Amino acid sequence: MPVMETSAAVEVAVRAPDAFAFVADATNNPRWQKGMVDCTWLADEPPIGVGSRYRQHARFMGRDVRSIFEVTEYVDGQVIAARTLRVDEGGVAGGFPITFRRSVEPVGEGRCRVRTVVTGEPGRFFGLAAGPLAWMVRRSIRADYRRLVGVLES
């Protein structure tokens, strides 16, 4: 299966620590990511760190996609990265492998840049339309990051 990778970056008129606290907390995802139904930390999260896990329920292309994500990199105030878990790791069937890495950096007084790189393997169902799917994913992620600016600056 082909691997898809896309990225997005936006500047936001909020302090970097505030933006990071928001984007690092998965429970905020439904507020700015279209199609996101619910995100819930497992166990007693936060505080968030490497090994933290959350359950995600999204709707994509008319399908329910449920996943368990595990944080793989965490630098407080700067970087959070996570990946979906395979079924044999405690994940759930039906999604496709995805990783993301979000970073936040100050760019001036009261401003920051939020960046993301998302990599995924679409699997059999979604892989049938790999070209159009990659375009849709890129478009969706970039729209999500424009929405993020509106949420953070409101």
DSSP of 6-54: EEEEEEESS-HHHHHHHHH-GGGHHHHSTTEEEEEESTT--S--TT-EE
Structure tokens at 95: 């999604």
Stretch 36-59: mean pLDDT: 89
Q: Spell out the residues 6+ positions from residue 92 whose beta carbon is closer than 8 angstroms to its own.
A: 66, 67, 68
Instruction: Work out the pLDDT band at 127, boundaries 50, 70, 90.
Output: very low
> In which residue are the tokens 């007693």 written?
44
Contact 102, 23 (CB under 8 A): yes
pLDDT of residue 128 exceeding 60: no
The answer to whether 32 touches 154, Cβ cutoff 8 Å, is: no
Q: What is the mean pLDDT of the chain?
A: 87
pLDDT at 151 over 80: yes
pTM of the model: 0.87
pLDDT on residue 34: 93
Domains and CATH numbers, the chain: 4-153 (3.30.530.20)
